[in-house]
Amino acid sequence: MRIIVTGSPGTGKTTVARALGKKLRHKVVNEKQFALERKIGKWDENEEELVIPLGEFGKELGALLEKEKNIILEGHMLCELRLKADIVILLREEPLILEGRLRKRGYSEEKVQDNVFCEAGNYCGKHVCSNYAAEKILDVPGGKNIKAAMQHIISTFRERGLKLGQGSST
């Protein structure tokens, strides 16, 4: 199964993707690490972040998904791409909880506010809904610990008849 895990920074994408990868025995690929390995994008000193051109990035990820049948891609920019995925997991979090997490990570005040604003405005949700069919989207609400989030995901997979750990369902 080809799975995308996306959401705003601080919603638990990496943690959920790793736990799901372990459970399903799927390879897990982080978007930033993938871009760095492929030398896609450039470091912006002012913003202190990697700026990745979505067109080139999408083509490279598309090629990866053509080769890999059992893979989980995780990252916040994935909501902006239309990729060949069996399911897209959209993680959400309450803006105030998200704000605290991002501050603990040492994000600048501007980045904290930008990300909290995006979460409150449903930025990732709107992009996911415009890029993927509704039946492929699994919306995971905030306020869940990793165990509860995983239970929600696995039970939804079962409800939808997705075969856990046995390859693509589509």
Burial (CB count <10 Å: 0-12, 13-18, 19+), residue 60 = middle
Q: Which two tokens stand for residue 147?
A: 């165990």
Please report, for the chain, the start and end positions of each structural domain, with discontinuous segments joined by +.
2-30+71-159
Shortest CA distance to 132 belongs to which of 93, 170, 94?
Answer: 170
**What is the structure's pLDDT at 48?**
75
Please enumerate in sequence order all residues whose Cβ is within 8 A of that of 58, keeping only pairs 6 or more positions apart, or say none. 81, 82, 83
CATH of 2-30+71-159, one of 3.30.70.270, 3.40.190.10, 3.40.50.300, 1.10.3720.10: 3.40.50.300
pTM (2 d.p.): 0.91
**What is the structure's pLDDT at 57?**
97
Distance CA 28, CA 26 (A): 6
Please enumerate in sequence order all residues whose Cβ is within 8 A of that of 104, keeping only pairs 6 or more positions apart, or say none. none
Q: Which amino acid, 150?
A: M
pLDDT tens per residue across all 170 residues of the chain: 999 999 999 999 999 999 999 999 999 999 999 999 999 999 888 877 889 999 999 999 999 999 999 999 999 999 999 999 999 999 999 999 999 999 999 999 999 999 999 999 999 999 999 999 999 999 999 888 889 999 999 999 989 888 765 443 33
Shortest CA distance to 116 belongs to which of 136, 100, 129, 128?
Answer: 100
